[in-house]
Amino acid sequence: MAHPAVSALQIDEYANPKVFDRERSQLFHPGTGFSYLDHDRLWAGSGSRRSDGDPRLLITRENGKVRALANLCSHALRPLVDDDIVNERTVITCPYHQWSFRRDGSFVGGPGCEFADDEAGVAERRALDLREFETIEWCGMIFVADVDRVAEFDADLAALDSALKRRGIDANIGSDWVLHSSEDDHYDADWKIFLEVFGDCYHVPPFHDGLSAFADCATLEWEFGEHFHAQFLDFAHVDSSSAQYAKWADGIAKDAAGRGVELDELAVAWIAIYPNVMIELYAGLRVISVVIPTGPNSFINRAHFFVREGTEEHAPGLTAAMIAAYAETAVQDIELVETRARGIATARAFDLGNAGYLVQTSGIGPEAGVAHFHAWWRRTISLPR
Ligand code: FES
Ligand SMILES: [Fe+2]
């Protein structure tokens, strides 16, 4: 059964500069929508850093207070920070003419900058402060949010929390999870296709032989909120043709035995929080990935891998096996994303008009996440601003 045509994305809504401009202002505009910026497990303590999810913003942390600031020097609008290195100094100094700012965004000064000692001088100085945006924190993650809709986003995250808790898990990457590595992959495709592939369990059995022998798509359960979808899959318990997935299944059993705990039946929870962050809670591995659009037909997928402390002690070689298994599946997903991008271009060249994406929602609804994402996009792109 196909989902209602009213919300399905049409081919001219992909790789389209006009649509992309609208997405920038509706979905990725700090202060308008709701989008992921950073995670406290990526860096701790006080300091500042370019946001993980949006290079146009800075994150600062000080005495437990997190701020999202425009990464834009008020002197001549150059980015203040162009890398992901944590700055532990109390001021952020622009490299171009040495203007500097405190972690709360307030302007400190710059060479030759003088202000009168009266009200007008103070106002002139204040006008140079960095713009600050409203944030929401959830499970160590920082989001930038429309200040008028904070209650709506909080309610949605609470719904996600209860969906996870009902299954005995939570999305917290607690103190015993450590960052193993991070990776950026560049794609030639519209960013929305990545979200589609993430919400599509239909392709897993035919296209991911390794993954489908690890997690059983017949056990798929969905949870939905206004701004998210989540999939839950149990272990498949079948022999895998992938040596890495076989090592993963074997290793986590050893790891559980080493820790003296029962291995849960849940193999993975895949959570997408729209527009662009995904949290994958596997037995033994956690992955946060953020899709950062770089143009109408290009994006970066930035993935962070976390493993539990003591993993190598209990199951030597498990970390490398999990990362290698994940990479096998990721390569297959790159093909899924880029073939669809090329197919959409061909459909447009052939003038196929409203050719859509015929989402399969019958049975367990293996592509229900795609339909949900399309409906969210359709609803959100047209909200008044
Ligand atoms: S652009 Fe930042 S100090 Fe000039
Ligand atoms: Fe996939």
Q: How many angstroms is it from 335 CA to the middle of ligand 1? A: 42
pTM for the predicted model, two decimal places = 0.94
Measured between alpha carbons, how far is 368 from 356 in angstroms, rounded to an integer? 15
Ligand nearest, relative to CA of residue 210:
2
Nearest protein CA to atom 1 of ligand 1, as residue: 76
Confidence (pLDDT) at 131: 97
Ligand nearest, relative to CA of residue 99:
1
Is the Cβ atom of 282 under 6 angstroms away from ligand 1? no
Is the Cβ atom of 97 under 6 angstroms away from ligand 1? yes
Q: SS3 breakdown of the chain: % helix, strand, coil, rounded to 5? A: 30, 30, 40
How would DSSP label each residue in 314-360? HSTTHHHHHHHHHHHHHHHHHHHHHHHHHHHHHHHHTT-TT------
Closest alpha carbon to 251 in 180, 313, 161, 170:
313
Confidence (pLDDT) at 358: 83
Over its C-alpha atoms, the chain yields an Rg (Å, rounded) of 22
Is the Cβ atom of 348 under 6 angstroms away from ligand 1? no
Confidence (pLDDT) at 33: 86
Measured between alpha carbons, how far is 244 from 258 in angstroms, rounded to an integer? 20
- Domains detected in the chain: 34-135 (2.102.10.10), 169-381 (3.90.380.10)
Ligand nearest, relative to CA of residue 73:
1
Fill in the DSSP letter of residue 171.
-
**Ligand 1 atom closest to the CA of 73, numbered from 1:** 2
* Tokens coding 152: 């709506």
Burial, 250: exposed, middle or buried (Cβ in 10 Å; 0-12, 13-18, 19+)?
Answer: middle
Confidence (pLDDT) at 2: 47
Nearest protein CA to atom 4 of ligand 1, as residue: 97
Confidence (pLDDT) at 6: 58
Full pLDDT tens readout for the chain, 385 residues = 444 455 789 999 999 999 999 999 999 999 888 999 999 999 988 999 999 999 999 999 999 899 999 999 999 999 999 999 999 999 999 999 999 999 999 999 999 999 999 999 999 999 999 999 999 999 999 999 999 999 999 999 999 999 999 999 888 888 899 999 999 999 999 999 999 999 999 999 999 999 999 999 999 999 999 999 999 999 999 888 899 999 999 999 999 999 999 999 999 999 999 999 999 999 999 999 999 999 999 999 999 999 999 999 999 999 999 999 999 999 999 999 999 999 999 999 999 876 678 887 776 788 999 999 999 999 999 877 6
